[in-house]
Each structure stands twice: as structure tokens, then as C-alpha cells.
Structure 1
Amino acid sequence: MRPGADDGVMSIDFLAGFTIFMLALIVVVGMVPGLLAGLASSGIDYDAVAYRTGVILVEDPGWPVYPPWEMTDPAHKDDIQRIGLAVSKDTPNILLSTKVERFFNESFFDTEDYRSKAIFGDIPYSYNFSLNISHPDGNYELKQAGDPLPPGHGYIRRAVKIKEPGVAKIEYDQYTNSTLDDSTPRMFTIRLNFSHLLNQSIGPAYRIDPRTEPVRVNINMTGYLNPGTNATLQSVTFWKMDTTRSNPGFTPIPFSYDVKDSDLYTLTLDGSSSDLLPDIPVKTNISFVLKPAATSLFTLDQNSILDIRFIFDDSPQRTTLNGTYLYDYDSVPPPPLKPGVLEVAIW
């Protein structure tokens, strides 16, 4: 064989090997980005976080359900596991007014509460919650919690409606009893029959449930007074009956009647705040609100009847107001749901 005859063969072998190597290298380089995709850092989808938070707020009643989380006192705030504003899980986008009021109370909830009970996540998100409520008179009410909005935040908007309690309005003389003598104290009773109020055939959005919403009573006294006089409201007391017991009867509910507690109730007489043992004259109006925090102490269920008794006592008696007012769907129709817009911003 001539000298140098193998040179051509070696060059071809080297070229073939080098070509295969380059092709393999190109394939590997093309695969590397896909292999490392799971390891690469990615931005946070704030819109997704805002959407998830919005769903929790408008479609979930929160936890605990009963007694509802919004009744929790500040000392036991850690018992609240989840904040939701819906009336129930069956009423998405219909919010309960008492839950709304508590949620936007930034003196009750702090930043960490909103993050851990509404937003949920390992990252310390910043947030802004706002609810714009439309009132029947054309005015708007804006509720907000959180920080001012920066550029580049995630955002979701939900159309909602707000359920508010009705009001018992006693304005005429249908509760006048002229057969009582002047020495008999007058007793006017607001009666709540829970077997009727908690009727499951009535949807949660329109159901009267004093365990989760306040009982409101307004009494116009001007039509129930003897001319030129006033009447002394001696006391407001609570009585309960359990209809499942043999020989059921009303028994008084122990309560701090002589201590004003606006978290449990408010009693306003002619515009002045009072406790439940006022023993003072009333000329024009009685406004009473029994709040869910109080009814939760009474252990009420579908077998309960609750009486709220207003006792008037003068000598001689100066008012004709006497009888029993049934607080039910006929006398206290739920008001129309108020439309609103809930906006959730996360960054």
C-alpha cells in the first residue's frame, strides 16, 4: 500500500463522527430548555389569586357556620377558620349584611387575618377589598379594607346582592285593649315562633333567622297614649318556650337587664339610649334591636318560641298598648335584596 493511503479513510471517519456528534449536541441543546422548565422561576398569577379569593367570599358562608363566624368575639378570633360572606352555600352571590359589616371592620380583623382566613397562601399578599352597595333612594355606600391599589395588581369583580333584616313597625292602634282596668300593667309582646321562621321551604335568601340577623322593632307610641300623657316603660324581658317538652310553658331567660351592651342589643326611647330596665316615661317612639350575639346565648332552634315583653306600668295606666305581635313573614316581610359590586385586588 502506498504511503499515506489511510489518510483519506481517516478523514472520512472523522467527518462522519463529528457530524453525528454535532447532530446529537443539537438535539440535546434543544431538549435542555424543556428539561429545565420546571426549575425555572415563574411570575405569580395575581388574577388567579384574586379570582379564588372572590369565589370564597361570595359563594361561601365561612366557618364556623353556627354560631356563625361573624358573632365571634375578639378574644376567640382564632376560632374563625374561613371568612365567607354568603348567606349560605346554596346562595352564591347573595351576601348577609351582618357578615359584610364584620368583614369590613378593620378594628376587628388585622392584615394577617385577611391573609390567613380569606386569601389563603404562603406568600404575604397585599390586598384591597371594596363593596359598593346601591340603596333604594339612589345613594351608594362604599365599604373598603386594605391598601391603595398599585400598578400591576390582580383583580376580580363580582356582582352581588345583600340580604338585610326586616323591621317590625307597630304604628296603629290594632294592639289596643280597652277592657283592662286602670290598675293592670300593660304588656306588649313580640313573639318569634322559630318553627315558622326557620321553615325550610323558604329560601335562605329570604328566610328570617334571628340567630344570624338582628330582630328590629319600632313602636310609634303616639297612637297608644292617653291624650296629653306619656307611658312609663318599666322593663323589656325575654321569655322562651320549648314546644317539645311536656306541658310546655314560657320561662324567663336570665340576662343582664340592667347593663347596656350594644354588642347584644340596643334600646332607644325617644332618641335616648337605655338599658332594659329603663323605668322612664316614653312619649313618641321605642326602637329596639336584638342582635344575633344575644340570641346565640338563648340556645334557640326550630322547636323554640321567643317572647320579647315590653311592660308599661303607671297609676293609672296611660297607654292602651297591649297584646301579642307575631314577628313572621306576614308582618315583617324581608326587604328587597340590595344590589352591589364586590371588587377584590391582590398583589
Structure 2
Amino acid sequence: MITLIYVATLIPTLFIGLQSNSIDYDAVAYRTGVILAEDPGMPYNPSWETLPNISDSEILRFGLALSKDTPNILTPEKINRFFCTSEFVYPTDYQSRAVFGDYPYQFNISLQMAGSNVTQSVGDILPVDSTGRSVGTYGYSRRVIKVKEHSNATLDFSNFNVTSGQPKGNLPLGIYTQNATNQAFSVYFNYTYLLNSGPDYDSIAYQINPLAPSGANGLVGGEGALINLTGLQALPQNTGGIITTVNLSSISVYKSQSAAPLGTGQEPFGGPELNSTNPSQFLLYIDGNPTPVTQLPCNVTSNVSLFIPPGLLSYLGGGDSSTLLNITMQFRLSQQDWYLNSTQVTPYGAFNYNYTNPNITQPHLEDGVMEVAVW
């Protein structure tokens, strides 16, 4: 018995020189694909894709998933930040945050959406021979993913009937007022409603969630909100033949923890939490100009597009699930005229951003493919 035990302890050492040094590249590619597609990344509070460039050292792990509970459902913000090679250096930053390990792998990671000819990629080009066939040993992983496309609100005022003062189509009633030089358009976000009244059993994959509290389900900072006002040139009546000019003078965010009555800048709203004539916190586009506006007031003729970036509303709301936020664009007219005064809308005094409003494109999932090659 003692002899058998002694031999058994010696056998493993007899084969030390015969052990394989080969690397399972398929396993590395698979692991990398799992990390990117099923993990939201680290840190998650605040979420890594919201950190500024100077905080790149704080990013510990890349992950593109919406949350830990939604594997293979990615967010556009994380995808765009991940593939931004002007911020991250290949291979160093990606090796330490996505592939891991001390071995100096070469790799290529790419993502393409269904129906698109554009491929986002980072890394080396896989070696091929003169016929285009891959050469050498490499690992490969291919995953079908989905990307959550966020909601947006678009109101087209081009069909506004200036004679009767009544809207056409799906525009909300009572959104106009007559003969005023200072007017406003307000958008109302009720976080509790958005969290509890979404489709598909309140799955976060389909929720409108611009007010997500930090750390909730791994979804940090929420998503962006886009508000498009088009056809605005149809609103002024130009009384007396004098052309009415319009300036967008400021953008303000008001906060409340009480549901009613809601009015722009009135009780129960306090604040404003943010009152800005410098729209650097937002992306503001006027009349189709692709360059964002950097200073208000600004002349407006036909279109206003306001994009509120992910995280801003959560920050202003303090991550409180009872938060109600009212985002108001203030307009100044050169003379009294019809325009956008949504303070006259009852009962909320604002355009309600919700799941049933026909002017809102709801969140939806788009198909895509992510490929990882490692060699």
C-alpha cells in the first residue's frame, strides 16, 4: 500500500515536460463575447460609459449589456463609447478591460446591425492568405444581439389650423394660447408611472427610463430623451401683416415629488433645478443645422430638436423614484401671437411623455451580430 501511494505521487511529475502549451483561443473568444454581451460593465454607479475621458482609468471592465437582467440586449451609448478608438487605445485598454489575461493576444471585435452596411470594429485584421482564407490558429465567437433603441417625442405642427386655432392629427388639444409674447413648451416625466406602467411586465428592455435611479438593476443614469418640434413656422398668425420672429430664450428643469397640480415652474414644482441659457448640458439643434447651439437666446423658424443625454435627468432628480421632472423651453415672440404655450394644458400643464401618447416612438429592439476573433 505504501509503495502504491508513493508511485501515485510520482506519476504527475513524470509528465510535466509533456504538458501542452497550446491556448484555447475559442474559449478566450467565447469568454470575451460573454463579457461584452451579458455584462453591463464596471463601474456601474456611475455607469462606465458616462465617465469623462479623464476618468478612463476608473473603467475596470467593458460591458455592453443594458443590465445584468437583460443579457444580449445592448445599449447604443455603451456600444458607441466602446468602439471610440480616439478615447481607448488598442490593444492595451481593450486587453485589460475585455479580453483579460497576461498573454499578448491579438483580437478583433466587431458589431453590425441588421440591414446596415456599417460595421463598428476595433482591433487587428485577421491574417489571411492570397485566397482570402484565414491562416494560423485563432478562436472565433459569433453572437446574435439586440440593441435597445430609445424613445423619442416628435410633434409636427405643420398642419396647425391658424384660422380656427385648433390642432390637426394627433397633436394634443389645448397646447396653444393666443396673443402672448412669452410662451413655453414643457415636457413632463413621471418616473413612478414610467417604471410601473411599461409593456411586457415592465421589462426594462421596453421601458422609457430617462429617470433611472443610480444602480437600479445595473441600469445607471437612465437613457437619453429626444424631443423634436417641427413645422413651427405654421404657428404664428402674423397679425397685421407683421412677421413674428421667435427666440428660444432658455431651457429649464423643474422638480417635484407631488403628482398634482403640475404647472411650469409653479407649485408643487420647485426650482428650477437647472435654468440654462448655455445649453452645454444638452444637445440642441435649431432649424436642421447639424451644429449644436451653444448659446441662448437663438432664433427659431421651423424646427427644434432637444436631446437630453443619459444621466442628466437622474442627476437632477436625485435618483428618487417619486421624482417628477418638468423640462421647459421658454420662447420669446417679437409680438403677441399664437405659439406653444403648454402651460394651458390640463391637468399637467405639460406634454406628458408616456407609453400611450401617439406622438412618442416607443423603445424597441433592433437585431445585430457581434463577432470576436482572437489569435
Task: Identify the TM-score tier after normalising by the shorter chain.
Answer: 0.7 to 0.9
| Shift in Å, 1:242 | 3.1
2:149 is the counterpart of 1:164: yes
> Which aligned pairs between 1:192-207 and structure 2 lie closer than 5 A?
192-199=189-196, 201-207=201-207
In 2, the alpha carbon distance for the partners of 1:175 and 1:317 equals: 22
Contact 1:62 1:83 in 2 (8 A): yes
**Ranges in structure 2 where 5+ consecutive residues have no aligned partner:** 1-6, 128-134, 158-166, 211-220, 260-266, 343-349
Find the partner of 1:59 among 38, 42, 45: 38
Find the partner of 1:238 among 221, 238, 253: 253
| Shift in Å, 1:268 | 0.8
Q: 1:179 to 1:148 in 2, by over 3 A?
A: closer
2:236 is the counterpart of 1:225: yes
The SS at the match of 1:140 is: coil
Per-residue deviation, residues 1-58 of structure 1 (Å, max 9, x unmatched): xxxxxxxxxxxxxxxxxxxxxxxxxxx9xx9798314763421111100000101111
> Which aligned pairs between 1:90-109 and structure 2 lie closer than 5 A?
90-109=69-88
The SS at the match of 2:15 is: helix
Find the partner of 1:278 among 289, 292, 296: 296
- Is 52-61 or 196-205 further displaced after alignment? 196-205
| Shift in Å, 1:180 | 4.5
**Ranges in structure 1 where 5+ consecutive residues have no aligned partner:** 1-27
Contact 2:286 2:305 in 1 (8 A): yes
TM-score when normalising by structure 2: 0.75
Per-residue deviation, residues 104-157 of structure 1 (Å, max 9, x unmatched): 1111222222111111112122211100112xxx43331111111123221100
| Shift in Å, 1:178 | 8.5
Q: 1:105 to 1:319 in 2, by over 3 A?
A: farther
Find the partner of 1:187 among 165, 184, 187: 184
Identity %: 37
**1:88 aligned residue:** 67
**1:345 aligned residue:** 373
The SS at the match of 1:84 is: coil
| Shift in Å, 1:97 | 1.1
Q: 1:305 to 1:297 in 2, by over 3 A?
A: same
Bigger-Rg structure (1/2): 1
Contact 1:197 1:209 in 2 (8 A): yes
Find the partner of 1:291 among 278, 284, 309: 309
Contact 2:249 2:277 in 1 (8 A): no
**1:143 aligned residue:** 120
Question: How many residue pairs align between the two structures?
Answer: 310
Over the residues paired in the alignment, what is the CA RMSD in angstroms?
2.7
TM-score when normalising by structure 1: 0.80
- Is 53-62 or 37-46 further displaced after alignment? 37-46
Per-residue deviation, residues 195-240 of structure 1 (Å, max 9, x unmatched): 1222384101111222332110100113423255442211111222
* AA aligned opposite 1:163: K
| Shift in Å, 1:177 | 5.0
